[in-house]
Amino acid sequence: MPPRTLTVTLPPATANRNYPIHIGRGLFNQTALYRPHLISRQVLIVTNTTVAPLYLDAVRSALTDYQVNSVILPDGEQYKDLATWQQIFDVLLAQRYGRDCTLIALGGGVIGDMTGFAAASYQRGVAFIQVPTTLLAQVDSSVGGKTGINHPAGKNMIGAFHQPAAVIADTDTLMTLPERELSAGFAEVIKYGLIRDLDFFNWLAHHADGLLARDPALLATAIERSCQHKAEIVEADEYESGQRALLNLGHTFGHAIETGTGYGNWLHGEAIAVGMVMAADLSHRLGWLTNEDVDRVRQVLTAFQLPITAPLELTAGQMLDLMAVDKKVLQGKLRLVLLTALGAAQVTSDVPMEQLRMTLASASVSRGIAWLT
Amino acid sequence: MPPRTLTVTLPPATANRNYPIHIGRGLFNQTALYRPHLISRQVLIVTNTTVAPLYLDAVRSALTDYQVNSVILPDGEQYKDLATWQQIFDVLLAQRYGRDCTLIALGGGVIGDMTGFAAASYQRGVAFIQVPTTLLAQVDSSVGGKTGINHPAGKNMIGAFHQPAAVIADTDTLMTLPERELSAGFAEVIKYGLIRDLDFFNWLAHHADGLLARDPALLATAIERSCQHKAEIVEADEYESGQRALLNLGHTFGHAIETGTGYGNWLHGEAIAVGMVMAADLSHRLGWLTNEDVDRVRQVLTAFQLPITAPLELTAGQMLDLMAVDKKVLQGKLRLVLLTALGAAQVTSDVPMEQLRMTLASASVSRGIAWLT
């Protein structure tokens, strides 16, 4: 398949802010994809210990005309913290990078979020390019400008909205992605189906085996359709004052799982999968979904090798405590994204505590966490 | 004098971004000045160990209807760092503050910059109110939305543009301000005169004694005129793509002095005073100012008890090294704000290195640093 390019269209501020999302095989070393977005010759590649040996040289080979430095951070959600983030500035300043430099985030969601927030903050804002190497980053986190780091008490609590200058998604990286990471990425793909595209949800259910087998054509379709959804939502509501919140289906639950079990033990997509089951279960308890709908959500997630039950070590009370620090809390009220049907979602701050407790209690029993071991 | 209110008018983004600057005596405990800008009941006051015993209770007394917590940081430029900054988030999360909370910066420029950057970053952006308690903060840093923290290698290198919801400048605080801090604040006041208002510069020169004696009417005039200049420039160029850079007269030199001598040893305004002398001297070497102009700059700064010679411990070579990491460097070229006349400034990237070296060398000889001891 030839590469495809989508465009995220945003209102201009001090400059044009539209940006391309390039999706395809063998894109890493295509200088022409980077060049239009590099302002000066100063380029810093931020990556991690897992990705660097695989792809750093390929990206560097596209940038031989530039002054390229790199920072190789430790790999994992547990390093998405202030101390690790500071290492990016140490290099930028040691190399005397100016306001016209460009950062390149080469890695998954953690690298993208940290690099984006460093770009947002260095000298009060420099440009950056997302080069996502995981399915999750290619379909979700690299697009839309949400950047940030974790606080011990809450996921992504420190950050900024800062749009990338371009997204370069080389799908060849998915061939080396560990199975667990591939499945985790599909949680966010399935999410688009659940909140706004029932056809896509059914298509994913039908092609689960082929997608997990990494059929390139199927993967390209899944990524492109996901990015289309993400771009449409971000274009309509960049700063999440409305419908962008729907992208957080399962995330209030999921963030509590990630924080409560210790960053890095659950992958983000795994926690989101369980969170989506909880959201579906709660939607059923409110009479918005049928029991069959909820089962269907469980079945499709399971087909993608994703967990559907909460970690045994977290009680419902602990989950509630952790959920109370979520970014969607307003006026002290928890706001949750729930499903009004498969393919349609809504934000509500009107969830009876009793129903929520029952959802949490029922999700944490039974099957255990055998899938984690 | 009755309180006066200026307005900073900015283009709306997701919401109206215009904000008032209230200037006057006894404003701290006026609930009506805060209330319109508080979205939820959650308010966090960020202050420091020097200001808290003096004014924290007064501000709290205006907010009895709110859930008010406070963070008391150590006082000084040397604490404007990531580790101290993180303490703000620790409290925000421990108290489960939501996206609709408001931060209040009660202190000088360091507190304002750190609090503003925390507000820019907490949950990707919450509101904050500037309550400046130093002259420098009242005339300059509390207005305009520049926020940030220092990196060991460079001043204000990590930060964001994030406008306050209001500025409440209670001029009674100037009565308790140490003399050295008062003088430091006048460096930024004099700056407005030098870059765009010769009448104001001459007025300041004429009233130096009365201003240092803290005559309330003179102080109010100086603060209001300074804030008018700042507001006009920020309105015209919020993100410093043009004329806002003129506000950095003396700052490339000054930041190098602050970083090179160790944060907290020189006050920001003191370093800027010397930086303005250097800028004037260099302007003279380029034929833009007369020798008499440069002497006049030195005289007025001296009248305000400000230093006019560089620290002995920094060589011209060290200064040049430190200046190379300044935010105004673009395409590897140093950009400096110079004076084309008293009352008129210009940014130039065309400074001959030889002249710059002579300016640095001549500024660091002779008078010593007796004024520091």
Q: How far is residue B288's CA from residue B280's CA, in Å, rounded to a whole number?
A: 9
Q: How far is residue B205's CA from residue B226's CA, in Å, rounded to a whole number?
A: 15
Last residue of a domain, one of A175, A206, A228: A175
| Residue A328 assigned as binding residue | no
Select the residue of B123, B151, B159 nearest A157 (Cβ to Cβ): B123
Cα→Cα distances B135→A77, A142, B129, B142, B227, Å: 44, 44, 17, 10, 11
Same domain, B203 and B289: yes
Beta bridge partners of A330: A333
Dihedral, CA of residue B251, residue B255, residue B256 and residue B260, to nearest 10: 160
Q: Do B93 and A327 touch (CB under 8 A)?
A: no
Chain B residue with minimal CA distance to A13?
Answer: B13
Active site residue: A188, A224, A238, A258, which one?
Answer: A188
Q: Does A242 touch chain B (CB under 8 A)?
A: no
Same domain, A171 and A183: no
Q: What share of chain A is helix, strand, coil (3-state, %, to 5)?
A: 50, 20, 30
Q: How far is residue B284's CA from residue B288's CA, in Å, rounded to a whole number?
A: 5
Q: Hey, what amino acid is at B365?
A: V
Reported in sequence order, the residue ranges of chain A that DSSP labels E, i.e. its strands, are: 4-8, 19-24, 42-48, 67-73, 102-107, 127-132, 146-151, 154-161, 166-170, 336-341, 344-348
Q: Does A154 touch chain B (CB under 8 A)?
A: yes
Same domain, A106 and A226: no
Same domain, A88 and A236: no
How far apart are the CA of A324 and the nearest CA of chain B, in angstroms?
7
Band (A312; pLDDT cuts 50, 70, 90): confident
Same domain, B262 and B330: yes
CATH number at residue B168: 3.40.50.1970
Q: How far is residue B270's CA from residue B254's CA, in Å, rounded to a whole number?
A: 8
| Contacts with B96 from chain A: Cβ below 8 Å | 324-325, 329
Band (A100; pLDDT cuts 50, 70, 90): very high
Beta bridge partners of A73: A48
Last residue of a domain, one of B175, B190, B206: B175
Q: How do residues B47-68 score in pLDDT, each as one tens digit?
A: 999 999 999 999 999 999 999 9
Q: Which residues in chain B land under pLDDT 70?
A: 364-373
Same domain, B122 and B262: no
Q: Which residues 4-43 of chain A have a CB within 8 Å of chain B?
A: 13-14, 40
pLDDT of residue A368: 42
Higher pLDDT pick, B372 / A164: A164
Task: Kindly report the number of other CB atoms within 10 A of residue B331's CB atom.
Answer: 12
Q: How many domains does chain A have?
A: 2
Same domain, B131 and B266: no
How far apart are the CA of B293 and the nearest CA of chain A, in angstroms?
33
Token couple for A325: 């620090």
Per the structure, the complete domain to which residue B149 belongs is given by 4-175
Check: CB of residue A156 under 8 Å from CB of residue A148.
Answer: yes
How far apart are the CA of B117 and the nearest CA of chain A, in angstroms?
9
Q: How do residues A28-83 score in pLDDT, each as one tens digit?
A: 999 999 999 999 999 999 999 999 999 999 999 999 999 999 999 999 999 999 99
Same domain, A225 and A321: yes
B241 exposed, middle or buried (CB, 10 Å; 0-12, 13-18, 19+)? exposed
| Chain centre distance of CA A87 | 22
| Residue A365 assigned as binding residue | no
Q: Do B239 and A14 touch (CB under 8 A)?
A: yes
Select the residue of A14, A94, A159 nearest B124 (Cβ to Cβ): A159
Same domain, B190 and B143: no
Higher pLDDT pick, B245 / A366: B245
Q: How do residues A101-144 score in pLDDT, each as one tens digit?
A: 999 999 999 999 999 999 999 999 999 999 999 999 999 999 99
Band (A15; pLDDT cuts 50, 70, 90): confident
Q: Do B241 and A14 touch (CB under 8 A)?
A: yes
pLDDT of residue A189: 98
pLDDT of residue A367: 42
pLDDT of residue A365: 53
CATH number at residue B330: 1.20.1090.10
Same domain, A30 and A146: yes
Last residue of a domain, one of A141, A175, A209: A175
Q: Does A331 touch chain B (CB under 8 A)?
A: yes
Same domain, A250 and A149: no
Same domain, A122 and A246: no
